[in-house]
């Protein structure tokens, strides 16, 4: 019997599902995201993918298709939606006395997460988010562990008893989070408080989830640790119900395994994983993991990943083959101690609303979006505010007969009339001039996001720019601009590249722990080895924890591989870097030198030599262990190259496209019929059912043996 791998990426606008067979061949399904019940969008996407395999999803074979699915991986917005909608469970908080406001007050920099510089410098734009745990649901407990892990004030157990009883009975809390200072260094007080809390639960007859910060996020930075622990208590069970609904729908078509989900740092786990908050920001992760695999195919270690969807523009950079890990990312105006691939996002996509500022009469794009529902105005689903996709349609870039493969009807006249009324006429412009201006502004926003934010301090000439997402190929050459990228590429499965990237991941868990130690030049080698013993102890403890966790999920020890990571920086510098340890332990002088050498080698690959200090003083800030189980992954197959001229059936004719203030005839091509080896000159539009590649007149497309599209300037070719 044939076996398949199914991966899904549910974004803010569209849900993409990719179905991969044992030979690495794949098909893609696409449907609007359904936040109220994510299983609806998932199953609609899966059914479209099944149809492309030649199977009727409502026939006998379609109704039993799940029996052929070996693994199904889902990444979506369930936990994000829980936090956005404030629909999690009522959560109580036990904290060190005097820190009852740790969640409410937060950190000052949380008030401008994701803001533009012009907004950061004006206080009226800053705002504190509504706390997930109001002040009245926090209880202080007298206790103190110092930064070295030594108890300096004992735990006042009667205060724990009183606080838990009040939270359970008076406040009727449905979950409790415990966050004590420096519990990452010594969890003894949190563990004893948890014992007392469980005893009180039995006494009052109410068992509720109990989360400890020393288990959820045993790292420094108490505000971020508190936020992570609260999110785990507040949102994980609500989000898990959405995932269980999807699993239930899969079981209805014969799927016999558990549903998997994607963790924010690029691993796969069971949806019953107890630390589900690690999947809160998993949406854009698949794209970076897919790009990491792609980099091994094209032989490039430096790749800028850019994902254009309907709601956001997500970007991340792989440098020297290293995936960027952000250990304190911003999530819904909160910093959280959750390792996540470093991704920077702005509100810019095809669903971005286009308005005029009432004071200045200037164009204002977003940051909000029409999303998948109600979508652009041409869908006539209730939205009357023009969007970027309305502009793409009016300019001839988007095919009105091919939206989502022609599944949805499009009324181009509605886009024209609303754009004229609300944008063009007030600006004194023609409809198409106004639409092109809006499109140019969006491309400029995305270009500036890449160059001025993500890539500050890096040389663009060293990086390949990869564009994906449903709208990535359509906007890619607009935001690539005149900048000297080493190369610009995309793929025909760009519309589901993040889902495809989800299929490229291993089943893995990751654990971090704060470790503070310093190596200075005045120490002899033996003392340096001694100073690194806390690193060994932390590594061993984390590895033991991960081994027990994965064994509990059904994996044998010989299936699990462990890798050890250390975070180091030069003494006095602000940022540490992630270094894969070349040694399993640091027990000898040679081990120590190998570890320091690995740090210095990684540092010189990532930064200029002028940043390296003359004095070799090093600071260790954190350690990590990654446990992996290999999974079956899709493959980019090597094809025989066809002739540069595409086959006749790939050509669909010509269509007028408005470009640089005038109409031009563009060649229209069917992407499914473009073969490796083919080359196409702009002006051209290459259409698929799930994406559109727009090629301006000054660009040229070459398809390589792996079906990767290389986009090159014609003047550069000459």
Give the pLDDT score at 632: 67
The pLDDT value given to residue 257: 85
Classify burial at 232, counting beta carbons within 10 Å of its beta carbon; exposed 0-12, middle 13-18, buried 19 or more. Answer: buried
In this prediction, residue 526 carries a pLDDT of 94
Average pLDDT over residues 136-162: 95
Q: Which helix or strand (DSSP H or E) is residue 468 part of?
A: strand 464-468
pTM, 2 dp: 0.81
pLDDT tens per residue across span 82-107: 887 788 899 999 999 999 999 998 88
What pLDDT band is residue 651 in, cutting at 50, 70 and 90?
A: very high
What whole-number distance in Å separates Cα of residue 475 and Cα of residue 478? 5
- Kindly state whether residues 345 and 452 are assigned to the same domain: yes
Asked if residue 230 belongs to a domain, the reply is no
Count the Cβ atoms, other than its own, within 10 Å of residue 611. 12
Q: The domain spanning residue 47 has which CATH number? A: 3.30.420.40
pLDDT at 123 over 80: no
Give the side-chain half-sphere CA count within 13 A for 396.
Answer: 22
224 located within any domain: no
| pLDDT value of position 283 | 66
The pair of structure tokens assigned to 657 is 């496209």
Same-domain check for residues 399 and 540: no
Last residue of a domain, one of 208, 227, 255: 208
The fraction of the chain above a pLDDT of 70, given in percent, is 98
pLDDT at 717: 54
Same domain, 333 and 452: yes
Which domain-ending residue is among 629, 658, 682?
A: 629
Cα angle, residue 443 at apex, residues 437 and 445 outer, rounded to 5°? 105
* Strands of the sheet with 91-96, listed across from one edge: 138-141, 91-96, 175-179, 210-212
**Distance (Å, rounded) from C-alpha 26 to C-alpha 24?**
6
Q: Which residues contact 352 (CB under 8 A, 6 or more apart)?
A: 311, 365, 366, 367, 368, 369, 387, 388, 442
- Most confident among 21-30, 304-313, 491-500, 653-662 (mean pLDDT): 653-662
Average pLDDT over residues 334-352: 85
In this structure, are residues 176 and 204 in contact, taking their beta carbons and an 8 Å threshold? no
How far is 280 from 334, CA to CA, in rounded Å? 12
DSSP per-residue codes, 530-572:
HHTHHHHHHHHHHHHHHHHHHHHTT--GGG-EEEEEEEEEETT
- Domain annotation covers residue 370: yes
Q: Residue 416's pLDDT is what? A: 95
- pLDDT value of position 604: 86
One domain, residues 357 and 425? yes
For residue 200, tell me if it sits in a domain. Answer: yes
The pLDDT-based confidence of 716 (bands split at 50, 70, 90) is low
Same domain, 418 and 526: no
pLDDT confidence band for 189 (50 / 70 / 90) = very high
Q: Are residues 319 and 414 in the same domain?
A: no
Number of domains observed in the structure of the chain: 6
Q: Is residue 222 part of a domain?
A: no
Residues 363 and 320 in one domain: no
User: Using alpha carbons only, what angle is made at residue 578 by residues 511 and 177, rounded to the nearest 5 degrees?
Assistant: 35
DSSP type of residue 332: S
Question: How many other CB atoms are found less than 10 A from the CB of residue 280?
Answer: 27
Query: Element (H or E) spanning 606, and its range?
Result: helix 589-606
- Is 659 found in the same domain as 530? no
Give yes or no for a contact between 201 and 208, defined as CB atoms under 8 angstroms apart: yes
Cβ neighbours of residue 575 under 8 Å, at least 6 residues apart? 569
How far is Cα 359 from Cα 153, in angstroms, rounded to an integer? 58
For residue 116, what pLDDT band results from cuts at 50, 70 and 90? low
State residue 187's pLDDT score.
95
Angle (deg, nearest 10), helices 431-448 and 412-419:
90
Domain membership of residue 595 as a residue range? 507-629
The DSSP code for 483 is -
CATH of the domain at 550: 3.30.1490
pLDDT at 515 over 60: yes
d(CA 554, CA 562): 16
Query: Looking at the structure, do residues 521 and 614 belong to the same domain, yes or no?
Result: yes
Residue 94 and residue 197 in one domain: yes
Q: Above 70 in pLDDT, residue 271? A: yes
Which residue in 583, 633, 675, 658 sits closest to 296, CA to CA? 633
Q: Give the lowest-confidence range in 230-239, 493-502, 530-539.
A: 493-502
Backbone angles phi, psi at 487, to 5 degrees: -165, 160
DSSP letter at 129 equals P
175's CB contacts (< 8 A; 6+ apart) are: 89, 90, 91, 92, 208, 209, 210, 211, 233, 234, 237
In this predicted structure, the answer to whether residue 713 has a pLDDT above a threshold of 60 is: yes
What is the model's pLDDT at position 136?
95
> Is the residue at 376 inside a domain?
yes
542 inside domain? yes
In a domain, 217, yes or no: no
CA 693 to the chain's CA centroid: 23
Half-sphere exposure of 629 (CA within 13 A, CB side): 18
Do 677 and 708 have their domain in common? Answer: yes
User: Which residues are paired to 95 by β-bridges?
Assistant: 140, 179
Average pLDDT score, the chain: 89
Instruction: State the pLDDT at residue 506.
Output: 79
Each residue's pLDDT tens digit, 543-558:
999 999 888 878 888 8
Confidence check: pLDDT of 718 > 60: no
As to burial, measured by CB atoms within 10 angstroms (0-12 exposed, 13-18 middle, 19+ buried), residue 107 is middle
- Taking phi over 0 as left and psi of -120 to 50 as alpha, with beta for the rest, 499 belongs to alpha
pLDDT at 268 over 70: yes
Statement: residue 1 has pLDDT above 70: no
Q: How far apart are the first and last CA of the chain?
A: 52
Instruction: Note whether 615 and 703 are same-domain residues.
Output: no
CA 708 to chain centre: 23
Chosen domain end from 600, 629, 658: 629
């Amino acid at each position: 019997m044939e076996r398949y791998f199914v991966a899904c990426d549910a974004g803010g606008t569209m849900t993409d599902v990719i179905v991969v067979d044992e030979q690495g061949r794949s098909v893609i399904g696409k449907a609007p995201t359904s936040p109220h019940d994510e299983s609806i969008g998932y199953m609609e996407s899966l059914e479209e993918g099944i149809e492309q395999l030649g199977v009727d999803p409502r026939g006998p074979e379609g109704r039993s298709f799940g029996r052929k699915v070996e693994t199904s991986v889902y990444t979506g917005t369930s936990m994000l939606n829980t936090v956005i909608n404030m629909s999690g469970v009522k959560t109580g908080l036990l904290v060190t006395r005097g820190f009852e406001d740790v969640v409410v007050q937060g950190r000052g920099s949380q008030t401008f997460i994701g803001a533009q510089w012009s907004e950061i410098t004006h206080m009226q734009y800053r705002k504190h988010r509504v706390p997930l745990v109001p002040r009245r649901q926090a209880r202080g407990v007298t206790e103190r562990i110092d930064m070295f892990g030594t108890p300096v004030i004992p735990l006042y157990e009667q205060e724990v008893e009183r606080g838990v009883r009040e939270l359970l009975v008076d406040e009727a809390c449905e979950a409790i989070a415990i966050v004590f200072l420096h519990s990452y260094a010594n969890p003894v007080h949190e563990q004893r408080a948890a014992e007392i809390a469980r005893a009180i639960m039995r006494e009052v007859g109410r068992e509720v989830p109990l989360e400890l910060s020393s288990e959820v996020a045993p790292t420094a930075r108490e505000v971020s640790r508190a936020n992570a622990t609260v999110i785990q208590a507040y949102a994980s069970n609500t989000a898990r119900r959405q995932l269980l609904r999807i699993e239930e729908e899969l079981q209805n078509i014969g799927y016999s395994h558990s549903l998997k989900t994607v963790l924010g740092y690029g691993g796969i786990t069971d949806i019953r994983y107890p630390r589900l908050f690690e999947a809160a920001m998993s949406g854009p992760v698949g794209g970076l993991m897919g790009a990491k695999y792609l980099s091994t195919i094209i032989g490039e270690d430096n790749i800028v990943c850019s994902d254009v969807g309907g709601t956001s523009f997500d970007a991340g950079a792989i440098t020297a083959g290293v995936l960027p890990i952000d250990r304190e990312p911003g999530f819904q105006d909160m910093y959280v101690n959750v390792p996540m691939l470093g991704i920077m996002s702005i509100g810019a996509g095809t669903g971005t609303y286009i308005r005029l500022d009432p004071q200045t009469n200037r164009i204002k794009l977003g940051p909000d979006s029409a999303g998948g529902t109600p979508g652009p105005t041409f869908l006539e689903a209730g939205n009357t505010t023009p969007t970027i996709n309305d502009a793409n349609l009016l300019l001839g870039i988007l095919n009105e007969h091919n939206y989502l493969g022609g599944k949805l009807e499009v009324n181009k006249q509605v886009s024209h009339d609303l754009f004229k009324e609300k944008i063009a006429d007030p600006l004194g412009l023609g409809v198409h001039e106004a639409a092109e201006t809006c499109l140019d502004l969006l491309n400029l926003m995305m270009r500036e996001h890449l160059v001025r934010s993500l890539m500050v301090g890096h040389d663009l000439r060293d990086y390949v720019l990869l564009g994906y997402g449903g709208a990535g190929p359509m906007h890619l050459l607009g935001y690539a601009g005149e900048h000297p990228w080493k190369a610009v590429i995309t793929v025909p499965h760009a519309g589901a590249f993040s889902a495809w990237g989800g299929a490229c991941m291993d089943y893995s868990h990751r654990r971090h722990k704060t470790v503070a130690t310093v190596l200075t030049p005045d120490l002899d080698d033996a003392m340096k080895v001694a100073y690194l013993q806390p690193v060994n102890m932390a590594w061993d403890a984390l590895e033991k924890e991960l081994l027990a966790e994965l064994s509990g999920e059904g994996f044998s020890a010989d299936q699990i591989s462990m890798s050890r990571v250390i975070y180091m920086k030069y003494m006095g510098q602000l940022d540490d870097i992630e270094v894969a340890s070349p040694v399993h332990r640091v027990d000898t002088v040679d081990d120590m030198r190998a570890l320091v050498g690995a740090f210095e080698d990684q540092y010189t690959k990532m930064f200029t030599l002028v940043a390296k200090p003359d004095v070799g003083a090093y600071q260790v800030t954190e350690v990590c262990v990654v446990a992996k189980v290999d999974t079956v992954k899709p493959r980019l197959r090597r094809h025989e190259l066809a002739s540069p001229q595409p086959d006749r059936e790939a050509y669909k004719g010509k269509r007028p496209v408005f470009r640089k203030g005038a109409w031009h005839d563009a060649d229209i091509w069917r992407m499914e019929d473009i073969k490796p080896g083919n080359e196409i000159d702009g002006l051209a539009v290459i259409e698929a059912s799930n994406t559109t590649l727009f090629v301006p007149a000054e660009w040229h497309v070459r398809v390589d043996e792996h079906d990767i599209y290389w986009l090159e300037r014609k003047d550069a070719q000459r």
